Amino acid sequence: MKKAYKSRYIYYDGKVSTDKYLIFDEKIIGISDNSEDAEKIYEKENSIIMPAFINTHTHLPMSLFRGLADDIPLMDWLRNYIWPAESKYLSEEFVYDATLLAACEMIHSGTVCGNDMYFYSKNIGEAIKKAGLKVVLGAGILDFPTKFGKDIDDYLNNALKLYEYFRGDRDVRIALSPHAPYTVSPESYKRCIKFAEKYDLLIHTHLAETMDEVNNIKQKYGKTPVSLMDEVGLFDTKSILAHMVHLTEEEIDVIGKKSANISHCLESNLKLGSGFANIKKYMDAGANVSIGTDGAASNNDLDMLGELSTVAKFHKGLNLDPTVLDAGTVIDMATKNAARGLFLENCGELKNGFYADFIVVRFDDPFTVPVFNPVSQVVYSAKTQNIVDFFVNGDPVMVDGKIVTIDENEVIEKARWWGDRIK
């Protein structure tokens, strides 16, 4: 069905157009001064139509562990709180319910797709499809036995089953997710690369997140995590690297020359005290940097809009330069850079032939008026409540601030039930 949406502003093909209609069906057709005989017409005054955000590093089911353990260093947080909780509570039902909760948060904050790394990935995919969103599902790989696999062969076999289950699905892509160099050996990474290349999959991993990781890997292998992964060939295949906080100048040069895809998770890194990456250097060197929230247990939210504002302002202060990472740049990081980093075709921008994945942001409250630059207004002033409409593949998932694909109240009540059990 041909549809049209009129708005005061449309951020189309990287430029702001005024008082136009966005013409679309499943994909974007273009912009026009009139509705082009559309069968369905929408309109919101005092608003901007933007490409929906893509979150390039998530652990979606950890939404049910939000606030479980705060103000704790990463390895203490993992070993003494998160991993024991996961061991006790993870199930297909838990992961499905937790992903629906995450999906509600994604919708309200304008996020169409998450690049996820977790367990029971089939259930994550099913929940995301029910919510009307998109996902890149990471099949987890570890070097030690868990209830999800007993060895590398078992984990890879599970990944193959996941790939076959969602094969050909428009909105669910599969990735291979070796956890990190401190839980997966170089030999296992090489097997993951070989497997991923055979099935044309993305590899999604944590890398160089903390100084403890750097020191432990140097002690074990005689080189840094980034140098180790360069040696195994991770930067020479389809991959996206979460965090990348602690790099030497030489390593920044390497990832730049290899156009590495990096998911910058600033708020999580700050909250866990892991440090922060000067991503301007990475981008200047040639790396493709996008934005991730990490999981809601370490952030503690999946709010990409808030993450954009934090990233933009933090790096201005870090570089003592207010021109660093302007509003348009951080929106690109959360949209087209993200799509490029996840190898998603026809996603991440509003332009002819791309999927009609867009949000509508209202400027009609005390903290969003007056409007001089609508793109800056989105990054520096807007809140999640300003995102009022959301379309995925041309179909509404939220209208006038109300999610229309799933029952949000039911999801919240189930989350409370799980919270009472975990307490």
User: Is residue 409 assigned to a domain?
Assistant: no
pLDDT reported for residue 147: 86
- Please confirm whether the linkage preceding 278 is cis (ω < 30° from 0): no
User: Is residue 417 assigned to a domain?
Assistant: no
Q: Shortest CA distance to 360 belongs to which of 321, 389, 322?
A: 389
- Are 269 and 139 in a shared domain? yes
Q: Answer with the one of 314, 342, 370 that is the final residue of a domain.
A: 342
The answer to the question of whether 204 is labelled as a binding residue is no
The answer to the question of whether 187 is labelled as a binding residue is no
Region class of 27: left (phi > 0), else alpha (psi between -120 and 50), else beta: beta
- Are 214 and 333 in a shared domain? yes
- Pairwise CA distance, residues 322 & 132, whole Å: 38
Given pLDDT bands bounded at 50, 70 and 90, which one contains residue 78? Answer: confident
* Structure confidence by residue, pLDDT tens digits, 220-233: 999 999 999 999 99
The answer to the question of whether 179 is labelled as a binding residue is yes
- Are 359 and 278 in a shared domain? no
Give the percent of the chain with pLDDT over 90: 97
**Exposed, middle or buried by CB within 10 Å (0-12, 13-18, 19+), for 413?**
exposed
Segment 131-157 shows an average pLDDT of 95
Pairing between β-strand 40-51 and β-strand 358-362 as defined by DSSP bridges: antiparallel
Helices and strands (H and E) in the chain: how many: 16, 16
* Cα 305 to the center of its chain, rounded Å: 12
Given pLDDT bands bounded at 50, 70 and 90, which one contains residue 83? Answer: confident
- Are 265 and 204 in a shared domain? yes
Buried b (16+ CB within 10 A) or exposed e, 168-199: eeebbbbbbbbbbbbbbbbebbebbbebbeee
Query: For the chain, what's the residue count?
Result: 423
The answer to the question of whether 206 is labelled as a binding residue is yes
**Exposed, middle or buried by CB within 10 Å (0-12, 13-18, 19+), for 240?**
buried
- Are 325 and 372 in a shared domain? no
- Decide if pLDDT at 34 tops 90: yes
Minimum mean pLDDT range among 143-147, 375-379, 417-421: 143-147
- Are 143 and 44 in a shared domain? no
Query: Reading across the β-sheet that carries 40-51, which strands appear in turn?
Result: 28-32, 15-24, 3-12, 40-51, 358-362, 387-392, 395-399, 402-403
- Are 170 and 85 in a shared domain? yes
Inter-helix orientation angle 121-131/152-165, to 10°: 20
CATH of the domain at 369: 2.30.40.10
- Are 257 and 382 in a shared domain? no
- Are 385 and 284 in a shared domain? no
Q: Are 333 and 54 in contact (CB under 8 A)?
A: no
- Decide if pLDDT at 74 tops 90: no
- Are 88 and 221 in a shared domain? yes
- The letter for the amino acid at 142 is L
User: Is residue 414 assigned to a domain?
Assistant: no
* Domain enclosing residue 206, as ranges: 53-342
- Decide if pLDDT at 73 tops 90: no
CATH of the domain at 329: 3.20.20.140
| Structural domain count, the chain | 2
Global pTM reads 0.98
| Average pLDDT taken over every residue of the chain | 97
* Structure confidence by residue, pLDDT tens digits, 335-376: 999 999 999 999 999 999 999 999 999 999 999 999 999 999
- Are 280 and 311 in a shared domain? yes
The answer to the question of whether 59 is labelled as a binding residue is yes
- Are 359 and 309 in a shared domain? no
- Decide if pLDDT at 423 tops 90: no
Pairing between β-strand 15-24 and β-strand 395-399 as defined by DSSP bridges: unpaired
What is the DSSP secondary-structure string of 300-321?
A: S---HHHHHHHHHHHHHHHHT-
Segment 272-278 shows an average pLDDT of 94
Minimum mean pLDDT range among 76-85, 176-185, 394-403: 76-85
